Structure 1
Amino acid sequence: MSTLLLITFLLIAAVNLTYFISYFSFASSKYVAPSPSETSVSVIICCKNEAQNLNSFLPSILEQDHPNFEVILINDASLDETLEVMEKFKEIDPRIKIVDVKNNEAFWANKKYALTLGIKRAKYAHLLFTDADCAPQSKSWVSEMCRNLQQEKTIVLGYGGYVKNKSSFLNKLIRFETLLTAIQYFSYAKMGSPYMGVGRNLAYTSTLFFEQNGFANHLHLRSGDDDLFVNEAATKTNTAICDYPSAITRSVPKNSLKDWIKQKRRHVSTAKAYKKKHQFLLSLFYFSQVLFWILPVAILFTENWQILATIFSTVLLVKAILYYKSAAKLDEKDVVWLFPILELFLVFAQLGIFIANIISKPTHWK
């Protein structure tokens, strides 16, 4: 029995190791910036009850050094003073356009409906998306992201990180999960099979949006305005990644485990609409992660413990190198030192989220 368990663990470890070795396609790559471009850009921010965040973070968008851009602010039927804050900023900056969306019976509380109205209002063909609680980490964010929209590249995947709180374990967990997700979607894009992006830092062209009929194929799903659109529209040739430090955005993470789990339940619920090959590959990776941490418990006190320890340590070493190299690129190095604990916690948190989503549907878009 112990031999069978060891063989099973060997297979699982091999699968897990294969994934992490493949992720070096991103971790070991060097970012080569395209030639500077002064193309005109429409920055689009969809807001629902974001009055406070707009006051805090919108100035960092307006202070961008890019020579020609507009800011489309979408008020998605907010109940707070979001619209008033937008109008205040518009009075002092003519680059701002406001799209005031009222609840529509057919598209009640559907962010994709609001985003579509904002995209139709955009003056320029190059669209750059972020959230109301996000702050670019430099004044060249717009330029760095959109310089990649050249020739056949019509989608640019950026990194949307979170503000650091080094004294908070939850903060480290959230940033570790965000780092791992970025490693995956950047790596898949590098390997020619892009599958998702994050709306906190994502660019694409309006031409591509309308060629795809916008969000029509997944409009019935309230989440997924970012990852489902990319999953549907991205190809080996039309997608670029931008992991340059000055192109990073950061937002304020959830400060309670309950709120974070609620957020992740929404995100995870869209994966069932991914292309089948991506569903399979991501599911296989997750289950290899679960079993990589569970099986050693059953083998540890057998005569095979030394073989187990050697294999387990080897895989952990590869993971540590991968996480460190990726974290160095994305300025998240402080989470690397806790990665075994964070990974273990994340694996079982995701299992709980998966089970919770089977039992009941998650809530959506505020």
Structure 2
Amino acid sequence: MFALDNTTIIISAVLIIIALLTSFLNPFFRKVRIEEYDIPNQTKRNENTYNEVNKVEENKEMGVDTDIINEQVITLPPITIILTPHDNVQELIKNLPVYLNQNYPVDYQLIVVAPKNDYETSDILKRFASNKRLYTTFIPESSRYMSKKKLAITLGVKAAKYDWVIMADICCAPISNNWLQAIARNCKEKKELVVGYTRYEQDTPAYRQFERHYLAYYHMHEYQHNKAYACPFNALAFRKSHFLQEEGFRGNLKYIRGEYDFMVNKYAKENNLAFENSFEGTLIEEVPTEKIWVGSHLFYMENRQHMERTSRHRILPYIDQIALHGNYLLQCIALTGSLLFNTWTISAAVGLSLIITVFTRLIIGKKALKRFDINIPAWKIIPYEIAIAWNHLGYKLKYHRADKYDFISHKL
């Protein structure tokens, strides 16, 4: 029956308030800025510089003391890109030309570091040997006691001509020929790291696109509040001088994966990290295989145990998941109790709180996905949000059953 006693009113009000509040405990609700791509081409930069110099001269003639030259004129540094393919022949054929043909007005170098016995990769690289930007080197076969990926990156850094270096994955392709400009515009005097946004191809299963973006929101929020923890993306620019001074990957060389995570975790300090997530500054990653997808979760569970600030990073996701599941659990309990005791007022309140929960989370989620051009039907957002915690539990069980020697290069 419908009753309006104090207890019923309080329970109903609590259900509705909790439904509303917990909907905002959501990574998609936290503001993440999307950078605007506004780098002019080289001709416009030269024209702007010329015009500003004339203005300064005119001001001097008029007795105005000024030494400011157009702040919009962006100085792009010479830069080195490092790719480390391993049995990625098809990806190399498809993506290498995109990296080699970037619209970049300053000199840049592309270093490919491959295993010495990878003859297919060598054959592909010979096709591009005439390109003056391309430099190739190989990992020695004797490297057994350290991550080959980290070794390849280290060799690439040492071979780099320029202080600013970008490491990227060959399984990813720049979304446009302005990608390098978009990343490099962040390479400023007080910055030592630049993270570039990465997303999956549109053909990737919807849940995997959703989960990656959902979890990436935590990292993007941290970047923009100078609290960087790790890097779930596949483009990272850093200074060669700083890398060598701090001995590169020392401290995590034996861990097979996690190059980007360990780099950001080790080198990100205060406000020395910039984040580029404009459309032009995006990498598109190919559809992950089941092995790559599961492996990325298991390796991350291993690596995070050896990184700093892990507890701080995990607090917010835990709060969000407790709020998400706690709200639905409370609604289930209230509905069960109201049906047992025939308190239809509480049943109606449960229904209203569920409607508030669903519609609020759908609106927040759809808006956040749309901002990053991720096309997932709105009706999938609620089940996908719930699935993240349960899939995480499944990966955690797999991790605990796994041989821990699978995550390191020291097979002793």
TM-score when normalising by structure 2 = 0.75
Check conservation: 2:228, 2:265, Cα contact below 8 A: yes
* Mapped partners of 1:316, 1:94: distance in 2: 56
Q: 1:265 to 1:32 in 2, by over 3 A?
A: same
Structure 1 window deviating more from structure 2 (30-39 vs 110-119): it is 30-39
Separation in structure 2 between the aligned mates of residue 137 and residue 102 of structure 1, nearest angstrom: 33
Post-superposition shift, 1:17?
3.2
Give yes or no for contact 2:20–2:356 (8 Å, CA) kept in 1: no
1:334 paired residue number: 376
Write out aligned runs for 1:46-65 (5 A). Answer: 46-65=84-103
Residue 247 to residue 193, structure 1, CA distance change in 2 (3 Å):
same
Three-state SS of the structure 2 residue aligned to 1:75 is: strand
| 1:350 paired residue number | 392
Residue 25 (1) aligns with residue 58 (2): no
- Secondary structure of 2:227's counterpart equals coil
**Whole-Å Cα distance in 1 between the matches of residues 164 and 98 of structure 2?**
20
Distance 1:334 1:204, change over 3 A: same
Question: Could you tell me whether the CA contact under 8 Å between 1:128 and 1:142 is conserved in 2?
Answer: no
2:61 aligns with: none
Give the Cα–Cα distance (whole angstroms) in 2 for the partners of residues 10 and 93 of structure 1: 63
Aligned to 1:209: 243
Distance 1:183 1:38, change over 3 A: same
**CA shift for structure 1 position 103:** 3.6
Cα distance change of structure 1 residues 248 and 30 upon mapping to structure 2, 3 Å threshold: closer
Distance of aligned partners of 1:109 and 1:189 in 2 relative to their CA distance in 1, 3 Å threshold: closer
2:153 pairs with 1:115:
yes
Distance in 1 (CA, whole Å) between partners of 2:144 and 2:194 is 31
**Structure 1 unaligned blocks of 5 or more:** none
SS at match of 1:334: coil
Q: Secondary structure at the match of 1:150?
A: coil
| Counterpart in the other structure of 2:272 | 238
Q: Output one character per residue of 1:114-165: Cα deviation in whole Å (capped at 9) or x when no partner.
A: 2111111111111122111111111100000110111212212221111112
CA distance 1:76–1:289, shift in 2 (3 Å): farther
CA distance 1:283–1:82, change in 2 (3 Å): farther
The correspondence for 1:142, drawn from 164, 168, 180, is 180
Partner of 1:272: 305
Counterpart check, 1:69 vs 2:69: no
Partner of 2:131: 93
Task: Return the letter of the residue paired with 1:114.
Answer: A
In structure 2, relative to structure 1, the CA distance for the partners of 1:32 and 1:103 (3 Å cut) is same
Change over 3 Å in CA distance of 1:190–1:199 after alignment to 2: closer
AA aligned to 2:122 is L
**Is the CA contact 1:57–1:133 (under 8 Å) kept in the aligned structure 2?**
yes
Name the amino acid aligned to 1:222.
I
The residue that corresponds to 1:127 in the other structure is 165
Task: Rate the CA distance shift 1:155–1:141 in 2: closer, same or farther, 3 A.
Answer: same
Larger gyration radius, structure 1 or structure 2 = 2
Q: TM-score, normalised by structure 1?
A: 0.84
Do the aligned partners of residues 298 and 261 (structure 1) sit closer, same or farther apart at CA in structure 2, a change above 3 Å counting?
Answer: farther
State the aligned residue count.
355
What RMSD, in angstroms, separates the aligned Cα atoms of the two structures? 3.3
SS in structure 1 at match of 2:234: coil
Over residues 319-363 of structure 1, what are the superposed CA-to-partner deviations in whole Å (9 max), with x where a residue is unaligned?
Answer: 434433432332113355521122223332111001211221475
Report how far residue 11 of structure 1 moved. 7.5
In 2 relative to 1, CA 295–235 (structure 1 residues): closer, same or farther, beyond 3 Å?
A: farther
Q: Is the 8 A contact 1:44 1:130 kept in 2?
A: yes
**Preserved CA contact (<8 Å) 1:44 1:127:** yes
Tell me which residue corresponds to 2:49: none
SS of alignment partner, residue 26 of structure 1: coil
The equivalent of 2:65 in structure 1 is none
